[in-house]
Amino acid sequence: MPNGDQIIPDSLEEKKTNQVHGSSRRQFLGRLAAISAGLTVGSQVARGAPAKELTDAGPPQARAGSSSVDLLLKINGRTEKLRVDPRVTLLDTLRDKLHLTGTKKGCDRGACGACTVHIDGRRVVSCLTLAVTANGKEIKTIEGLANGDELHPVQSAFIACDGFQCGFCTPGQIMSAVGCIEEGHTTSDTEIREFMSGNLCRCGAYPNIVDAIRTAAPQVGGKI
């Protein structure tokens, strides 16, 4: 369970530092993650992993016996120095290490687009990107799209056109939409749909998502 491996140290750390037991969603989820991490540890006991590994809250790579790697990631204009297990995806690094939880984990298999971010200006899925392969690159996530309190035109258009229902796919849809516009693939609704097909929306907000992209495209120099 790669996610379990990744969650253990971070969520324990989060639990330690979260002294105020408020009712925020993030803290609740953090505790939930700690509980599920506990379940993971339990299953390792069942598989007979040595006890030393279980009590060691050090980095997962040390326990797994693989070599960790030093990284420099430029995320939303900030340079982050990290040391990661080479198995860790960019998605898990953003969410679990840097707490940039706007980028969502949907399928974790490159099929749904919820984890779409930009690397060096191009839209990619962060779940199939190993963090080590993004070393030295410019990464933009949904958190880096707005200009201070001023929303990016694509963000505003999603709100104006009601381009979502539950909102889980929305950060990925918006990052993908910005890429779609920059690539020049917004000359027709058919073209928008084709070049947005890598972003699934289980609520079925597609018509409004297309409206939002068509509306925003001319505002950010896209082709219409």
If DSSP codes are grouped into helix, strand and coil, which group holds residue 163? coil
Q: Determine whether 69 is exposed, middle or buried from the number of CB atoms within 10 Å of its CB (0-12, 13-18, 19+).
A: middle
Contact 133, 120 (CB under 8 A): no
**Residue 209 within binding range of another protein, rule CB under 8 A:** no
Query: Amino acid identity, residue 29?
Result: L
Site for another protein, residues 133 to 152, rule: CB under 8 A: 133, 135
| DSSP SS3 for 188 | coil
The contact mask relative to another protein for 66-105 (x = CB under 8 A, - = no) is: xx-x---------------xxx-x----------------
Q: Does 52 bind another protein (CB under 8 A)?
A: no
Answer for which of 9, 113, 144, 171 binds another protein (CB under 8 A) is 113
Decide: 135 and 72 in contact? Cβ < 8 Å. yes
Least distance CB 71 / another protein (angstroms): 11
Q: Is 101 strand, coil or helix?
A: coil
Q: CB of 84: closest distance to another protein in angstroms?
A: 10
Of the candidate residues 70, 162, 189, 194, the single one contacting another protein (CB under 8 A): 194
Shortest separation between residue 196's beta carbon and another protein, angstroms: 8
Q: Is position 109 an interface residue for another protein (rule: CB under 8 A)?
A: yes
Q: How near is the Cβ of 141 to another protein at its closest, in Å?
A: 14
Asked if 209 contacts 201 with a C-beta cutoff of 8 angstroms, the reply is yes
Tell me how many residues contact another protein (CB under 8 A). 38
Contact call for residues 123 and 116 (beta carbons, < 8 A): yes
